[in-house]
Amino acid sequence: MGDSIKARAPMRISFGGGGTDVPPFCEEYGGCVLNSAIAKYAYVTLSYRTEGIMLKSLDHILGVQYNQKHDLIQDESIKYNMAKAAIKHYLQDDKGVEISFFLDVIYQSGLGSSSAAFVALIRALDTGEKLGLTKKKVAEEAWRLEREELGNIGGKQDQYASAFGGLNFIEFSADRVDINPLRVDDKTALDLENQTLLFHYKPRSSSGSVLENQIRNVKEKKKETIDALLRSKEVAKEMKKKLLDGDVNGIGELLDEAWKQKKKFSSTISNPDLDKLYQNLKAKGALGGKISGAGGGGYMYVMCEENKTIDVYHYLTQAGFQPSFLKIDLRGVVTWI
């Protein structure tokens, strides 16, 4: 076995517009998202071997082995299905390969972890096979394989945030994705990190059921859902202006509006316990917050008043959560030997 190729791709949170990147809404109305890549990662290690295909993960260290590419049949293992799909498309000839991967967070986090794993895996194969894929092409291919080939329901923002890194305003239409990197000054970026807390709320079974409900509401032209998604687009645009103006508190206040609109996408996004927690967090000094990803569980984040972050932090720890400060990833997907 020769040198190992390692890849790391960040996960993300979206401040505004999340949900408007999910078809068919973005195809009919257009979508936009203000998001940030964060310092939580999916890691992939790829090594060539004389024969056979070995797939490993942190929670399945013995892995699974196949003789060659045509043996890679999709099954109930979502993680391994991602690897199988990428290998089938990008591993040239019938080379032997060993691929291992692990995540910084638990599965179904709401942070785009599966998309980050796909981005890291495709970039590792791109490096090993010398395919010359651009970051945008890596994101496009990760989206195509995850959403179209494997049929995993979701939006379009995750793969682009993971591939590019940083703070981005991303616009979506039926046939294109436009990435607008946002260059903010150091003070704004540091304030954003210092006033934002991220924590795991509770496990969720799947994002698909939540999004299926949202998609059904859009297809049925349910007015409350459509109006909420349209308002979410405007909130994302307003957040972009606040960010470029350095108004971090203003973003936090708009995040509260974004959460109110998000809960209208589907009745399964929130619940009474979460609503009570949110109100308690606001009473302690949170300006706004929301569940990351589709909703129903996973990670949550809150933006706090400048001098109230520690109060919110202590409340969360006393309530049994493990909050951490936001750390923005600026590099996107990276590989090394």
Q: List the catalytic residues.
A: 158
The dihedrals phi and psi of 70, each to the nearest 5 degrees, come to -70, -5
Contacts of 295 (CB under 8 A, 6+ apart): 110, 207, 210, 262, 265, 266, 268, 269, 270
Q: Could you tell me which of 151, 181, 152 has the C-alpha nearest to residue 168?
A: 181
The dihedrals phi and psi of 2, each to the nearest 5 degrees, come to -90, -155
Contacts of 303 (CB under 8 A, 6+ apart): 195, 196, 248, 251, 252, 255, 286, 287, 288, 289
Distance, CA of 36 to CA of 34 (rounded, Å):
7
Alpha helices in the chain (DSSP H): 25-29, 78-90, 113-129, 135-143, 157-164, 186-194, 208-219, 223-244, 248-262, 272-284, 309-318
Evaluate whether 305 touches 255 at the Cβ level (below 8 Å): no
